[in-house]
Amino acid sequence: MNPSVTDPRPQRALRLAVGVALGTALGFGLALPLPFLTPVLVLFLLAMSNQPLGLKGSLILALVVGLTCSCGLLLLPLLRHSPPSGVLLVALGLFLCFRFALRGGSGLVANLMVVGLTLITAAGTASMALGQEVLIALVKAALLTGLCVSLVHALFPEPIGLPPTPAPTPASDPLSSWIALRATLVVVPTWLLAMVDPASYLALIMKAVSLGQQTCVTNARMAGRELLGSTLLGGLLAIALWSLLSILPHLWLFFLLVLLFVLLLARRLYQLTRTRYSASFWLNTAITLLILLGQSVQDSASGKDVYTAFAVRMCLFILVTLYAYLAVLLIDQRSPIPGADKTCS
């Protein structure tokens, strides 16, 4: 980097923290059906791209979510009347989404497509009303995400004179296909479990999607520390944040606490604080924190036992993460592709 150009990492870390906190406040303040979706999508977008969306980009984002959800709705009759064929088509769609990102496509678009495809099909197979509710929640979350991203880019713009961010090197065709297959096999079992009781397991799908994306940039030897470590740390941070929020349950305190916790993670994600863990580790930690915390707030609002629900949800997250870890190890041991057990980033 040119020494005369300001280091962009502090701006990016602050932008990420403020954007996620703003998305959290809007998602819960407006009482959206799935309020944790907005901060999670903001986190994905700001972590994967340093460029503002603008009006056109925001509309494209909502359009991508809408089209993906529409594809999910179209698959519902097949899933209901011919489940094996429907499951195979969804698995094929997930494989193509992951492969698209690995071959140099937009990781954000791929993640949105995976989220829309899995959430809509899981919810819609149980109830069309639930499927429509999830569809509305996703579109609203996409629109709010565009608003949040535009606001924080206006508040914390990129320094002038930065060279364009180099595009990631696409993986070779055989390697990208193998890694995409690995990520698909991580997501599909959790998606099948969620179809049994979508209302209880939608958050688990978001966790599985995050793990699937993380396995695309994690090698087999580091998978345990990356996957399980980030999940456990996210759970501990969720407990800490919930304990502080319980002192004074208020939306503004919620906003400030999320801002503080995400800023601490963002400093490590952008390597402002030296760490031996990768960016995907800290990103997955933040996603786990937001999902667990969001679900706990919803449990509290509906009168459920927050601590019992959190314990059950955390156990499920750990089980899904252990499955992802074992899947990475077993699949890579049988890989016919040289280098599949090495880092994919």
DSSP string, 59-109: HHHHHHHHHHHHHHHHHHHHHHH-HHHHHHHHHHHHHHHHHHHHTTS-HHH
Report pLDDT for 217.
62
> How far apart, in Å, are the Cα atoms of 269 and each of 212, 287, 308?
19, 12, 31
The enclosing H or E element of 313 equals: helix 306-333
Give yes or no for residue 253 having a pLDDT over 90: yes
Mean pLDDT score, 154-158: 88
Residue 126's pLDDT is 75
Q: Residue 343 in contact with residue 218, Cβ under 8 Å? A: yes
Residue type, 130: L
Alpha-carbon Rg for the chain in angstroms: 19
Residue 343 has what pLDDT? Answer: 42
User: Can you tell me the mean pLDDT for 253-268?
Assistant: 95
Q: What is the average per-residue pLDDT within 103-126? A: 81
pLDDT of residue 321: 87
Q: Which pLDDT score, from 0 to 100, does residue 287 have?
A: 92
